[in-house]
Structures are given as C-alpha cells and as structure tokens.
Structure 1
C-alpha cells in the first residue's frame, strides 16, 4: 500500500479529502522502517492504511482520554469513562443498538461542558471516527465478534510542553501550584529538569511563546511559576528526596560541569549510575556560572542545585582539562564504559574589525569579561565602555559594566532593536538602567593611544533584504563614518565550539567543529561517546543544554544495559507530534476576559546598578496562586497506529 496517500482525513480543515495535495504537512513515517498508518488527536484524525480498524483505534483513544480526565469538570470525567466502557463492549462483541447515538451524545456533551482541552478536543476524533466509519461501527455491533487489538502509541502533550526542549509537564506543575501543593509541583519539574530555580530565572521561555492564553490576553508566566516552586523549597527549608534505582556497576565520565553535563549526571544518577564530572574551572555551572551575572542568577542558588546533582551520585573533579591533562582514551582505560561530552562553546567569535588582534589594553571578549566578574575580579579598567553585540551576552556585559563602575556604557548593534536576539525583558531592563543603545552601527576600526583603547570608528547602516537568519541584512551607508569615544571595549557577538580538542582522533565533527551525534540518541561516531549542549548545536540556550543532557542520559543507560542505542516508539511519537504542530498562532480563542499576569517585584534601577543583588524577587504566594489559575490546561492526546 502507498502510505504517502490518505485514505481519509479530518485533520485541521480537511474533510474526507484524500490525495497527495493534502498530505504534505501530515507525517507519513514512524521511525526509519515503519509508517504512520493512522493518527487520532486534538485536531481530528487521518488514515493512511485502510486495514486499520477504526473501531478498535477509537476504543484505545477513548481509554487515553478517560485516563487524562482530571475530574474538575464532572461531565468530562463521567462521560469519557462511559465512552470508554461502551467502546470496550463493542470491541468485545457485546455492542448494542443505540450505542452509537449514546457515544455521539456524550462526546458532544463533554465538548460543550468542559473547561480544559482534554474535554474540549478529545471528543473530536471520536465523533469524526463515528461519522466517517459508521458502517464499521454498525458491523462490529451487529456481528458480535471480538475485534483484535491493534498496535498503538499514545502521547500526551500541550503547546507549552511541546515548545519546551526538555518537554516539562507545564500544565501539571502549574495546576499543583494553583492547588497550593508546591512540593508536588517541584517534583514534577524535577522529573525533567535538575536546575529548576536556575531555569526559573534565566530561561528564554519558549513555552510562553506557545501559550494559548497569550491568544486571549497574556501568556502564563511559566518561568516565574517555576521559580516560585523552586524558591518555596528553600524558603521553607524542605529537604528534597530523590527516588533512585539500585546502584549500577558501570561508571560514566562526563566532560564539563555545565548545564548539559549536570543534567546528564542527574538523570543517570536517578537511574542508579555513578558519574564523574571532569571540569576545567574551579567551580561548577559552566556558562550558567561564568556567563550569567549574579543579579540574574545568585551563585548560592546555583551551588545548591549543583549539590543536589551530587546527592544523586555525581562526583565533580575540578581543574581537570580534558584533552590536555587527561584524554578520553585514558578515561576508557580507567573503566568508564560511556562518556558524555558537554564542553559548551567557551571561546569568543572574532569581530572581524581592524585592530582586534593588536593586543590593545582594555579590550576583552564578552565571555572573558563576564567570567572575570563571576570569579570576583574586575576585568578591565576605564570609565567609558563600548559593548558590541545584540544578544543576551551583550546585555549581560552592558548591565554588568554599570555595576563594576563604568559611567558611560554604549551598546553597539548593526541592526535595529526589532532584530535583536536578546530577551526583550533584558533589553527593557538595560534601558531602565541607562544603557545607551546605538542601532544600525557597524564597528570598522578600533582606535588606540599608547597601546590602550581610545575609541571605535563606525559606519552607519541601513537594512536591506533578509539574510539566511530571516533578519534584514545591514548594508553600510557610504561616507557615514563616525567615532564613538571609549576607553574600554567588549565584543560580544558570538561564541565558538572547540570540542575537537577533547575528542579522540577519528570522531566525526562538522566544519564548525561541533560534535556530530544522532539527533535523537546523542550518540557520536564513537559508540561509547555521547554529546549534548552547545558542543553539538553551537551556542544555544540553557534549557536546550539541560534537555540534551537529560535525553543523552536515557540513551547512555540503554547503551550500557543492552549494548545498543536505538530510538523507541516514544521518540518517534514525539517527532510525529512536533511535525503535526501542537500550537496554532492563528487560532481564534473564545473571549475569557482580559486578565494580565502579575509582575515580579524588582529593585529600582537607581539601586540595582550599584551592586549585583538579584533584581527580581519572584512571586508572592498570592500572585503565584492567581497566575496559576489563568492556565487553560491545554493537554492534547495523540494516538498513532503503527
């Protein structure tokens, strides 16, 4: 059978309209060797294989819906259970006349009376199946024969969960916060994230950009709620308890105590594996420590969360430069059965500006500038500083420069504010603190007197057509040269990966010197070597690194236990759901009132620029309760026949 064509589909706006033109956006593969024969979910259903028994598949889908019904809306709880029972009877050969009418009535009743998306969306594919497969249902009722069970894979997700690289159960922990069960909320978070307090402060929050509440008024403050749950543990002095399995014999080496390495160690520890983390720096955290200033991420909090990673079985050895002091081959000889490489992107990209290699005093890259501050040292002297860049590192540099005594701080960016990749919140707070923003400006030459930085010659720019990043390309305006006076300069335009210094000869890397790994298993061309975080993606996000470490740990454990490293059905289901798309930014939402999310209290700009005290203080219990109550609980169920 040609699985590229549809037998029928109700997915989205399609109504029983098979044919190649309608299949482009619907996944056909389920892994490398199997096809996605049929799918039921929040937006309808589609069938590619006519041999799929729609009646049995509907039974399984109804069972999943009943299991996910929370009970807050009693019609949903009671009716989904009754729908499941009726479909089970039909599939056992005990159906009765009138069952289909009852199924349709209850499914519509659930949709009309429910608050959350389990009740609002799960009846849809059931109704579609009955409408398009009524003859199959009637035949099953009339023949009174048991129907063989099919092979299905189910997955529960949500738009926010799907957007999160670590796929946290966001509606789950938000609901627990609403119920005042903060410890349970934190327990849910820690299933997938070992640094909840950290990520609750510095995450770039892709989840919030996929929040359906934002189509009504404002997205749920997911990041702040995560922080609230983590802070409650510290505020109340609760001792966390981790359930780990029996200790395994095999040892795992982890290179780098940054977010990816810590996450890998944590999730391996929960599985009973002892890990040794080799870290070149004297303290843990990687870029979370050296690249995020204390006013955003208090070091005591980061150290506390790292101590919990150690509690589940990780040992951290500091001052060990892997590739120089010890090699991966040495670690293998020492009995480490698997190795995870999470070395990040620790070096700065070149600015390609005349004079940057001249060795001028008071010139320092952004990541070196922040690293020096993180370890309590003043990186460079001066009163007027120019920072070049438009990302979060540049924001951290300009705001830190104020706090170490610079009076005049200029940010120089070659595009406009609209194209800046930095977090809009960071941009706004930098403006509040008095940072001067210079947009559409391109540095071309570093000026110096007596070997010290004295200024920056620049060109004015204008925006042309979009480049490969999707942003409009800056074009120099001829003859627009001008000089920005400064006595210190910090380029913060990007970072580069140097993972090749760590790897054994023959390990496959890209031309950007990132480690080549399988996109699902994180296994490299060396079977016992895995990698994750910036060293495989290039400079990215902290939550992305945590997700990579978590997922790699799962496959490392599988490799140690079976000698193989293959994706499971759950991995392919995750991919299928992502390909389908869980969030529709064009969705028309019913009006539910304009309720704005609360704002976290923050230090006044005149106060905070004088020190590195944390700027935001987090939600109060009342604010957290109020904000959690805005969640629409947008769970969606997907079921694949494979």
Structure 2
C-alpha cells in the first residue's frame, strides 16, 4: 500500500459520474423481502445509548404512555447491562418488543427528547429497547411471581392490552385466564402485523413470558358465542377485562365491489408468512394496487403490496401535513416508490375501478368537495379505513366509560374498545385496568417490579468485621463534600459513604474556583475528569455533627471517615480520637491527594514544606508507616491508607501501611496530570486573571487501567489485605473488573458527575447478574461472549444449552482476584504461540483502515484484492492486533495459527 499525499486530482465529469455509480447506493429501492431489515449491531446500540445526557425529570419518560424509565434503561444499555435494561423495561411494559417495533416514537419519547433540539437528533430509544429485550431473551431467565392468592380474573382478548393486564395481575398472585377467539395468542400483533414490522418470534416471546408465570390461555373462544360476561362472572371470575379490539369493518357510504379490507389482506399474508399454512404468496408483479387510507395500517398494506411486486398508490382525503401515519413511515414509502394521491374522496369502487372527487381542507378543519372527478383502474383495491365495534358491541353489557363498563363495578375495558390508538397506549390501558382490578380485589400497594432469581442474589459482604449491605459507596471527593451529599448517596441505596477528607479546623482553607473539568477530547458527555480541589472546606466540627446524623438516620450503613493532617503525631491523635468518638466505622487516611494541600500556615508552595498534607506524605514507605503508627496508637476502629498511584511501586507503600497497623488500603487516588493547553497557550482549568493552573488529579475512565494494574499487583503481593477499589467505576461491569483485580468493595466518584448517585442501581444489577451467571452453565459460557470485543478472541468456548444451575451462586469474595491470577511475568507467556488476523467479508466495510494500520504499525500483511475487498496474508501477519483495535465494525478477529514463528520479522 502506497503512502498517500495531498494533491489536486483532475478528472472529467463523466469519469466522476462513473466512479460514483460504482460506489453510491441508490436512494430509491423497492423492498422485496418480508423479513426485518438487519438490526443495529451491539456497538451501534451502545454508541447511541452513550449519547444520552440523562436529563433531570427526563421528558422521554413523561412522554411515554407507560411512563417507562427510559433514562435508566438507556444507561444500562450504555453499560451493556442487558439484564438490568430489560428489567427496567419489563417493569413498566410487558410487551416491549411489540411496542418498541410499532411505537410512533417521534410523537412520544423521541418527540420529547431534549436532544431533538440538536443536529444529531433524539436518542433512538425504540431501537435500544428492542435490542435489550432480544439480548435478555437469550438468557432464559424467568420472571418470579407470588403463588396464587385465591383471586381469579378473566381477560377477553390476548392483544397488547390483554397481555399487559394479565402480566401485572400475576405480580400480585392473582390467577388470570385469557379467552382468545383465535387459535393463537397475540391478537392483532400476530394476525395483522407483518413480520417485517414485528417478527412472529418477538410476539411469541411476549406470550411465553406470560405462560412462564402461569397465565392460562383458552383459544377458539368467542365472546357472545362460547361465553358471555355474565357466564364468566358466574364461573367464579371476580373481575372481567374486555380487550378484544374492534373486530368489525367500517361501513362506508359507497359501493366497494371487489375490494378487500386491510384486515383480510394482512391476515391472509400472515397466514402464509407467520403461520406457514402452505399457501403461495400472491403475485402482484405488473399489477396496479390502490390502498385507501392514510394511517399506519394503510402504510403496512402499501409496503406489503410493494413487496409482492405491485405498483402501489395510496389515496386519502388528507394532505401530507395531516397524515395520521408517522412521517417516517410516509417518507420511507416515498423512497420505496409508492405514489400518493392526497385530497381525494372515494365515491365508488366497482371491480377495481375507483372514482374519486377532489377535496379541500379549510380553516374550520373540515374537508369540502371541489367537484373535480378522477377515475382510475386498479387490479387490487385495499380498504384501510380502520375497524369498529358495530356488531360486537352487543356483547358488552353496558356503555364503556373511562375503562369501566357502566352498571358493573367489576367489568373493565381497554385497548381499541376505549378508542386508544397504537399498541403502546393499549399496553398502558392493560396496566391501568390491572390497577383498577387490583384495587377492587384489595391490593392497594404499588405494582412489584419485574423480578427474577437474579434480583435475589445477595450483595452483602463483610470486611474487617464490618457488614456492608452492598459493596458500593461514594469516595472522598466533591461527591461527598457535604452532609447532604453523603445523605443523598445513602438514600439512593449505597452501602456506605466516605466523607470528603476531614482535617482539623486550624488547617481548613478556602478552595479555589474552577476546580473540576472534563479531560477528554470526546465532544459527547464523558467519563474522565480532572480536579485541583483541596480537602474539605468545612470545619472538623461540621463533620463530627454530620457523622452523628448519618449514623442515626442510617444505622445499617457504614460511614468511612476520610481524614488527613500534617506529619504531627498530636494532630493525628486529636483528629482520630474526635472522629471515632463521633461514630465513624472506619478511617481512610488520605495520604494521596496530589493537589498541593497544606495545613496551618497556608500555601508555601509545592510539596517540600513543613505543613504539607496529602500525597507529599504518601510517596515514601517510611512516612506512610510512621503516620500509620500514629493512627494505630489511638484508633479503636479499623483504618485504611488511601494510596497514590503517582509512584513506581504501589506494593511498597501498601506493605508500609500494613506494617504500620492499617487493616487495608484504598486505591487508587487520582493520577497527577494537566488536561490540556489551549491554542492560545493557556491551560485548562485556569484560575484567576493570570490563568494559572497546578498539576491536579485525573479520575474516571482514563485511570481505570492504572487502577486495575496497581490493585492486581497489591492483591497478589498481599493476598489477605482488604482493598477498597477506586478508579473509573461507573457500571456493574467496571465494578466487577475491580473485583477481579482484587478489590473487596468499591468507591465511585466521577460516575456521579454524569449519572448522579442513582448510578448505583445499575451497578447492583450488573454485579448480581454476573454472580448469578457463574451458577448456570449457559450463562457462564455467555460471559465469554458478553462483550463485542471478546468475539475477536481466538479461544471462545461454545455456548452451553444447559439452563439449570449446577453450582451455588458465588459471593463477591469468591470471585475476588480471579483476574489478577492471570497477570503474570513475561516468562510465563508461551513464546511460540501464534495467532493471525482474519477479516469477515460479510461484516467488512472495505474501508481499508486496517490496511493503513498494518502498513504503518505491523508487517504490511493486509492487502486490497482486485474486487475491492481486503484480505490478511497469513504468512506475513505478526498477530499484533493493531488492525482489530481500529476496525469500526468488528470485522476482524484472531484465529490461532498453525505456523510456529520463532521470530516475527523473519
């Protein structure tokens, strides 16, 4: 591959057109398959989720009819925590695949997204939702509900409203029987929604989740024929929920000879496509098809007719700006070649001949005929005007008024019957009906969340004789800077909190402004920060009072007091005595703050002063041991030393801490650094009019690799020493990485800047899922396939099919340090083991990025073939992995090589 230089290229316009013709995809393309388009990849979903800005009182949630906590499941998806994302979704919406695929999101969650005000646009919430549930489906984890409580409810109809109602009632242990006139469950979702919109297996999964919690289905049961509302009540059902939709076609005031309804057309196709009835698909090639209507069903009919080969026209009396169908659907049909006739009213249909009259939409909102007549001949005409309750209304024993049937206090209705539009509103109707029914039966408490065996995994752990209800707490930083901060973190559910570093009141100084900044180049919200903050601005007395109040309000939580002082025994003795008397459970000695902290006497400059505090006392084993001994002399509670990473060997400092009497170590504190210099030569952050800065502390994602290395090293050198893991923890996955390195519990800081204290909920769920996965062969094997990056590895185990637990769920301590055991000296690496890169041609974009990387960083082993694709020359590949690191679509992977290469370059 040659080096490319910037140059001016000259070619004819004709040559330019020919080049484009071979590379630019057509903008108009007729669909031919009834299968769904390929879904987004996992990396695309994660990238999209990480655009979320996690708004306060997020409008995406309030704009969702089911009040789904969109922000929370988006956060879980950003962390690749598919289990927790699914738990959040299923807690509020039992039919999440159907709604995710059918929701008019542009007028719901995405319409409310604050990012719609930006060029990048709103978060694609529906695509993320569908991906999360499909990943959860792979886990074969069943919901757990209470045993039957003795109450019985009948649901008529197994569409989204009926399924939703049943799911919520079962969470109270109420027995539910669903009566369905078809021979299958799913209602309109299976009968009329084609597989390119909602695949059959997605609805089947929603039905299976109900079967898993013992919802009974009775098929081929028609209201008014096989049973009535009165007969259900006489049979012992205490309440009845009517959710059978609108089964009757609308009568229109003109002849419709030869036309078929949308229901007839779509049901016929689904019989062939979803239920494999053996009939051939209709052949519309060369045929003219007219779809009358402008809603979502009309769009489905038009798209289906296109796929059958037809020349399709959609005709309706609305203009484009008044279409009830989602704009995105209309734009898609335009790209696919559908013709639209707007502002026309049908006068008659006789064997394919359709007569229209033009209409006008006036300011009063009504349509008026203009008198111009249009006649067109079609081979097929489809009526997509909707449906009604005309004939079936007689089966309802009273008028439906706001979800209840008049004259009955135990008969409810929802879904299409009540006039809702769309599957998500129907699902919410089912939830609301379940609430009314539950209240009627005496269940006034909130609905329980979606619950599985994963949620029962305990996170309690013990360290230094102290019981932690869970292993997550905030660290000593701005995140714990006040009593209110500490209190809020405990309200959020964290098992402990660490105060901002307490110093004697004589040493307290005012902190500088502009002290926390983002320190990566990613224009999106990031996870890496830098601070030049000092220790607490609050007096020692303030913190003594705060500790007392925290212990009184949260007696089951651990309060860790971060403390620091100058290198004076009397100062440490006073501070330790006063703080432990206030009720602290454990000390964390801050001998690692890198931000030039000084005690009494103010700032004298740098670290070489008599009044230095923090990292200036923590970089040498002698001073660390000496100060640990000061504390040990008077401490009645355990203490940890918080280690600095800004040294060569952290094990020496850890050993000195233990030798001095510390019970364990906390690691790591922030890494010294300067985020950047601007083009004008000034630093960031910049304090004062002179724009000064000092070397501060980096935190968050940027330091996690350093933390994992140092924790692993200390753990391996002192296996029995407890470690509080700190550094880049923002998810269950990153917390578990610290556990695998050797940490007992975890402190978080930077994560709360972006996600708030509620970040702990995802961390809890992520830890529980991993612990539970270790107990089941199938999930245990999936841990080796959990991340898209892992798919590039050469030794992936096969995924087990065994779903029963074959061992107990491990504790956190059982898994502590298992990753550190894989960290070895170079002599343990097999020198002749070889791998080669492999390019998957089905995934590859043919961008050539790997070729550049291999040319400039490897052995120039990747070359472009005559057909424009790229290939690895195995005999030249040195197995370095640089190409895999830069591939934007994960098209490259390692495979073990048979060649035994003694030297890479020979």
Deviating beyond 4 angstroms after TM superposition, the runs of 4 or more aligned structure 1 residues are 115-118, 377-382, 565-568, 592-595, 631-636
Q: Does 1:397 align with 2:307?
A: no
Q: Does 1:180 align with 2:80?
A: yes
Alignment counterpart, residue 463 of structure 1, candidates 327, 348, 361: 361
Return closer, same or farther for 1:116/1:285 CA change in 2, 3 Å cut-off: closer
Q: Does 1:244 align with 2:140?
A: no
Q: Does 1:477 align with 2:370?
A: yes
Q: Does 1:366 align with 2:262?
A: yes
Q: Contact 2:291/2:384 (CA < 8 Å) preserved in 1?
A: yes
Q: Does 1:195 align with 2:195?
A: no
- Once the two structures are TM-superposed, the CA of residue 556 in structure 1 deviates from its matched residue by 1.0
Distance in structure 2 (CA, Å) of the matches to 1:517 and 1:200? 26
- Once the two structures are TM-superposed, the CA of residue 462 in structure 1 deviates from its matched residue by 2.8
Deviations 1:369-413 (A, max 9, x none): 2122222267988622211111001001111122234x2211101
Alignment counterpart, residue 486 of structure 1, candidates 378, 392, 397: 378
Distance in structure 2 (CA, Å) of the matches to 1:477 and 1:372? 37
- Once the two structures are TM-superposed, the CA of residue 497 in structure 1 deviates from its matched residue by 2.5
Deviations 1:15-56 (A, max 9, x none): xxxxxxxxxxxxxxxxxxxxxxxxxxxxxxxxxxxxxxxxxx
Distance in structure 1 (CA, Å) of the matches to 2:73 and 2:320? 34
Distance in structure 2 (CA, Å) of the matches to 1:277 and 1:426? 33
**Equivalent residues in 2 for 1:97-116 (5 A)?**
none
Distance in structure 2 (CA, Å) of the matches to 1:328 and 1:304? 29
Distance in structure 2 (CA, Å) of the matches to 1:525 and 1:178? 50
**Equivalent residues in 2 for 1:206-355 (5 A)?**
206-217=108-119, 218-234=121-137, 237-353=138-254, 355=255
Alignment counterpart, residue 417 of structure 1, candidates 299, 303, 320: 320
Alignment counterpart, residue 517 of structure 1, candidates 395, 402, 405: 402
- Once the two structures are TM-superposed, the CA of residue 116 in structure 1 deviates from its matched residue by 5.3
Return closer, same or farther for 1:310/1:440 CA change in 2, 3 Å cut-off: same
Q: Contact 1:117/1:632 (CA < 8 Å) preserved in 2?
A: no
TM-align CA RMSD: 3.0
Return closer, same or farther for 1:389/1:116 CA change in 2, 3 Å cut-off: closer
Q: Does 1:430 align with 2:333?
A: yes
Secondary structure of the residue that 1:241 maps to in structure 2?
A: coil
Distance in structure 2 (CA, Å) of the matches to 1:216 and 1:249? 53
- Once the two structures are TM-superposed, the CA of residue 364 in structure 1 deviates from its matched residue by 1.0
Alignment counterpart, residue 535 of structure 1, candidates 391, 405, 417: 417
In the alignment, what sits opposite 2:38? Answer: none
Distance in structure 1 (CA, Å) of the matches to 2:329 and 2:306? 14
Deviations 1:39-83 (A, max 9, x none): xxxxxxxxxxxxxxxxxxxxxxxxxxxxxxxxxxxxxxxxxxxxx
Q: Contact 1:244/1:272 (CA < 8 Å) preserved in 2?
A: yes
Ranges in structure 2 where 5+ consecutive residues have no aligned partner: 1-52, 273-278, 448-520, 525-750, 759-906
Query: Structure 2 length as normaliser, TM-score?
Result: 0.41
Return closer, same or farther for 1:350/1:633 CA change in 2, 3 Å cut-off: farther
Query: Structure 1 length as normaliser, TM-score?
Result: 0.58
Deviations 1:400-447 (A, max 9, x none): 122234x22111011221111111222122222221111222211213
- Once the two structures are TM-superposed, the CA of residue 297 in structure 1 deviates from its matched residue by 0.5
Q: Contact 2:152/2:175 (CA < 8 Å) preserved in 1?
A: yes
Alignment counterpart, residue 408 of structure 2, candidates 511, 526, 531: 526
- Once the two structures are TM-superposed, the CA of residue 517 in structure 1 deviates from its matched residue by 3.2
Distance in structure 2 (CA, Å) of the matches to 1:487 and 1:635? 62
Return closer, same or farther for 1:546/1:539 CA change in 2, 3 Å cut-off: closer
- Once the two structures are TM-superposed, the CA of residue 566 in structure 1 deviates from its matched residue by 12
Distance in structure 2 (CA, Å) of the matches to 1:633 and 1:289? 39
In the alignment, what sits opposite 2:621? Answer: none
In the alignment, what sits opposite 2:797? Answer: none
Q: Does 1:559 align with 2:459?
A: no
Return closer, same or farther for 1:379/1:322 CA change in 2, 3 Å cut-off: farther
- Once the two structures are TM-superposed, the CA of residue 296 in structure 1 deviates from its matched residue by 0.7
Q: Contact 1:252/1:338 (CA < 8 Å) preserved in 2?
A: yes
Q: Contact 2:283/2:308 (CA < 8 Å) preserved in 1?
A: no
Distance in structure 2 (CA, Å) of the matches to 1:169 and 1:231? 18
Return closer, same or farther for 1:390/1:197 CA change in 2, 3 Å cut-off: same
Q: Contact 1:388/1:490 (CA < 8 Å) preserved in 2?
A: yes
Distance in structure 1 (CA, Å) of the matches to 2:755 and 2:251? 46
Ranges in structure 1 where 5+ consecutive residues have no aligned partner: 1-114, 119-156, 448-452, 468-472, 510-514, 569-591, 596-628, 637-642
Q: Contact 1:369/1:379 (CA < 8 Å) preserved in 2?
A: no
Deviations 1:339-384 (A, max 9, x none): 111011222323323x12xxx33x1111222122222267988622
Distance in structure 1 (CA, Å) of the matches to 2:75 and 2:428? 23
Secondary structure of the residue that 2:349 maps to in structure 1?
A: strand
In the alignment, what sits opposite 1:545? Answer: 426
Return closer, same or farther for 1:430/1:408 CA change in 2, 3 Å cut-off: same
Q: Contact 1:208/1:222 (CA < 8 Å) preserved in 2?
A: yes
Return closer, same or farther for 1:373/1:117 CA change in 2, 3 Å cut-off: closer
Secondary structure of the residue that 1:457 maps to in structure 2?
A: strand
Return closer, same or farther for 1:328/1:378 CA change in 2, 3 Å cut-off: farther
Secondary structure of the residue that 1:343 maps to in structure 2?
A: coil
Distance in structure 2 (CA, Å) of the matches to 1:294 and 1:250? 37
